[in-house]
Structure 1
Amino acid sequence: MTRSYTLVQLRYFCAVAELENMTAAAAALNVTQSTLSSAVAQLEQVMGTPLFTRLPRRGLRLTPAGRRLHERSLLLLEDADQLPGLVREEGPTLAGDLTVGVFGPLAPFRASLIFEEFEREHPGVNLSFLEGDQEFLRRALRDGKCELALMYDLGLGGELPRRVLRRIPPHVIVAPDHPLAATPEQPVSLRALADEPLILLDLPHSREYYLSLFKLLGAVPRIRHRASGYETVRAFVARGHGYSVLNQRLPHDLTYAGSPVVPLPVVEELPPIEVLLVRPAGTRPTLKSRAFEEICLRVYGVAPVVSID
């Protein structure tokens, strides 16, 4: 006889999977922790396998079976939410939660605009962003903490489905009193700058990309400072501590401290960074994540496609 489970149990399970903590999930669902624990235990009994690994003082982690159930549960719950509208022959009305990962240096540029567009078109969806570095987001996709992520093409490997949103070439920034700042429209040689002090954006995979640019040119940069914050790098450059190489460029050249930097194009042909929309491998996108994809394509000015999976 087929063992049964309920949609409520699946919803409770998904909340625990996303928050990795029974107490936090119970508070989010407004139920008691004992109710939640019982629902998860019953679901594990129905599935015939543990869904979580209990880690002392570190909360819960999905087992491989739990990850597979989480992926399928999101689709099943979404279909269930669409059922009343389908019965009434109405178009789909998206509802529920959608978590999207976003690479930290990308977040200030497009995340708020994408959020506004998505919220206006799909007010029933609670969209939240999970911000972190490339490695953090790669793990979040693997562990089911986000359905898709806005990332760079750095350190991903070939197993994750992705859609290219933009290709951004590297550029140099210098302080206003730097000799090269007098002619900002004139391309500069990155190879010629290698002997000057470099302020390196020191994030996992980002630093390897920037150092690889010098290696391609047969040069070794003289690193003066390493900083993990995009704006910290710009602030050090603005104060005259050195130059830097970046990709994303703000619509203005002021730093948080109010001092400007001067962006300069690079004369050498160097590989750009690709801005990607990335999904977990082997999953079928939900309607909510497809709607987010459409907004991203529109914001980045990319011709729409049926799917990125």
Structure 2
Amino acid sequence: MTDITLRQLEYFLAVLDRGSVSEAAKECRVSQATVSAALAQLEKKLKVTLIARGPARRARPTSAGREFGMHAREILSTVSDAVESLNDESSLLQGPLRIGCIPTAAPRMLPGAASHFVRRHPQIDLSFVEAHPMTMQQMVLDGEVDVAVMYRKQIQIEGITRHDLADVQLHALVSADHPAASKDGVDIAELIDDPLILLDSPPTADLLVSQIRGVGYEPTVRWLIPNAETIRSMVGWGLGFSLANAVPHPDTRTFQGMPVRYLPVTNPEFANTIVGATMAGARLSKKLTAALDILRRTASETDPHRWNDADEPGRVKG
């Protein structure tokens, strides 16, 4: 059997994830020479090039490197699970855990989840990555994240298992002086004559436009903008309305300090679910099960229906 060490696999995956030997060395707290030597030894033993060195010292996986990387992650995960199995106390969970999230849900989900992990599982080496829905799904399939947070309707790639975290209700974002701003909810028909400003994060905009057409209306999309904060400011200026599943605290204002309103969309066709996405067939380790439990708790604590009931808005309890 080829003599390969777990440490070599760890350094290889660090290079894969960080994109350079220098960044991998920082993450692993060793010298660049140590990482380079381990990678060279690994490639020599496998008799294949795993990493292609590009300009500006960037490191990209070859096709063989991507394939081997998937198996290497499974190996390290299995070893980590074996160590965990020796202790029944979930508080002693340890090892790396990488959580991915789409940018729009990240402010809602990641800070609270991080707080829970730091307090309840301090030995977990936790890291986060944000990416658009299609990229995030591919990262799940490639084993680059252990679990990814996104919306059920965004998942369009085979090979992913969905774990429901919470139901979500679509909200319309309108300016404070919009005719519907004082309402407790709004039908999409009440907004259809206004220009629509949507998030440019495939497939989000296409899904929303398709859903609006599905209830018999043709939206007028004024702009596609990749930043949710910019969209909120555009709406604050009265330049259109937007649609969002992630709803901040009611006191949230635009960058310029303008108030806005998030109104529940009453059309049942727009109901969705926030999910934790994992690779199909992947075993749910104690660590991954704990992650899903914490993400469900965080989703519950940031449910917009609970904002008015919170003693300390935005603060995770327990």
TM interval, short-chain normalised: 0.7 to 0.9
Q: TM-score, normalised by structure 1?
A: 0.84
2:237 maps to what in 1? 239
Tell me which amino acid in the other structure corresponds to 1:176.
A
Residues 4-60 of structure 1 deviation map (CA, whole Å, 9 limit, x = unaligned): 222322332232232232222123334343432332233334445544454555412
Number of aligned residue pairs: give it: 295
CA distance in 2, matches of 1:292, 1:265: 29
Which of 60, 66, 70 is residue 68 of structure 1 equivalent to? 70
Residues 47-104 of structure 1 deviation map (CA, whole Å, 9 limit, x = unaligned): 4554445455541226343123322232244157558xx3xx7746222322110110
Matches within 5 A, 1:213-292: 213-256=211-254, 257-292=256-291
CA distance in 2, matches of 1:27, 1:173: 42
Tell me which amino acid in the other structure corresponds to 1:220.
E
CA distance in 1, matches of 2:259, 2:172: 14
Distance 1:248 1:27, change over 3 A: closer
1:294 maps to what in 2? 293
Contact 1:23 1:33 in 2 (8 A): yes
Computing the radius of gyration over CA atoms, which structure comes out larger, 1 or 2?
A: 1
Distance 1:190 1:46, change over 3 A: same
CA distance in 2, matches of 1:61, 1:129: 21
1:212 maps to what in 2? 210
Tell me which amino acid in the other structure corresponds to 2:75.
S
Distance 1:301 1:195, change over 3 A: closer
Displacement, 1:287? Answer: 3.6
**SS of structure 2 residue aligned to 1:116:** helix
Contact 1:200 1:226 in 2 (8 A): yes
2:14 maps to what in 1? 15
CA distance in 2, matches of 1:158, 1:7: 30
2:312 maps to what in 1? none
Task: Provide structure 2 residue ranges, at least 5 long, that are not aligned to the other structure.
Answer: 302-318
**SS of structure 2 residue aligned to 1:277:** strand
Distance 1:198 1:30, change over 3 A: closer
Displacement, 1:277? Answer: 0.3
2:305 maps to what in 1? none
Residues 244-283 of structure 1 deviation map (CA, whole Å, 9 limit, x = unaligned): 2222222215323221112333343323232110112343
**SS of structure 2 residue aligned to 1:167:** strand
Residues 194-240 of structure 1 deviation map (CA, whole Å, 9 limit, x = unaligned): 22222222221110121112211222112223222222222211211
Tell me which amino acid in the other structure corresponds to 1:148.
V
- Most deviating of 132-141 and 71-80: 71-80
Matches within 5 A, 1:92-241: 93-153=92-152, 154-182=154-182, 184-185=183-184, 187-241=185-239
Task: Provide structure 1 residue ranges, at least 5 long, that are not aligned to the other structure.
Answer: 303-309
CA distance in 1, matches of 2:167, 2:81: 35
Q: TM-score, normalised by structure 2?
A: 0.82
Tell me which amino acid in the other structure corresponds to 1:109.
R
